[in-house]
Amino acid sequence: MATGGGGVPYIGSRISLISKSEIRYEGTLYTINTQESTVALQHVRSFGTEGRRQDGPQIAPSAEVYEYIIFRGSDIKDLHVLNAQPEGEVMPAQAAAPPQQQQQPQQQQPQQQQLQHQQQK
C-alpha cells in the first residue's frame, strides 16, 4: 500500500533525482511506497547526464514532460528537495494513490454535486 500525503513529508515538493545511470530528473514528489521501495514523481523532465558519465555516451536532455515516472529505490543515486511544499498546504486526496490505482473517478462525482448544491444556496 502506498504511503500518502497525510504523513509523508515533502509530498508535493519539487525534487531533483539522479539515477544510477547518471541521468538527472526533476519532478513533483507524488508518493513514496515503502513496501515496494519506490518513489513516484509527477510532471517529470529529464535533463540527461550533464557530463556526469565517466564511461559511455552522454545522454542529452529531453524536452518531453512525463506525467509520472516511478523509480525503484535501488535505481536512485541521489535525491534532493529543491522546493519544499509550504507548511499546512494540503495535497488533493487522489495524490495518496499511485497512478495505476486511480481507477474510480465516480467516487468524486457525489462530492462535486454536493459542492455545487451548496454553492447554489
pLDDT averaged over 10-residue windows placed end to end, the chain, 121 residues: 57 96 97 95 97 93 97 97 70 48 37 40 40
pLDDT, position 41: 98
* Distance (Å, whole) CA 87 – CA 16: 20
pLDDT, position 3: 44
pLDDT, position 9: 78
The residue ranges of DSSP E strands in 1-121, in sequence order, are 14-19, 24-33, 38-46, 65-72, 76-83
Residues in a beta bridge with 28 = 14, 42
CB atoms inside a 10 Å sphere around CB 31: 24
Q: Residues 29, 16: contact at Cβ < 8 Å?
A: no
* Distance (Å, whole) CA 36 – CA 73: 9
pLDDT, position 71: 98
CB atoms inside a 10 Å sphere around CB 15: 22
Q: What is the pTM of this model?
A: 0.67
For 56, which DSSP code?
Answer: S
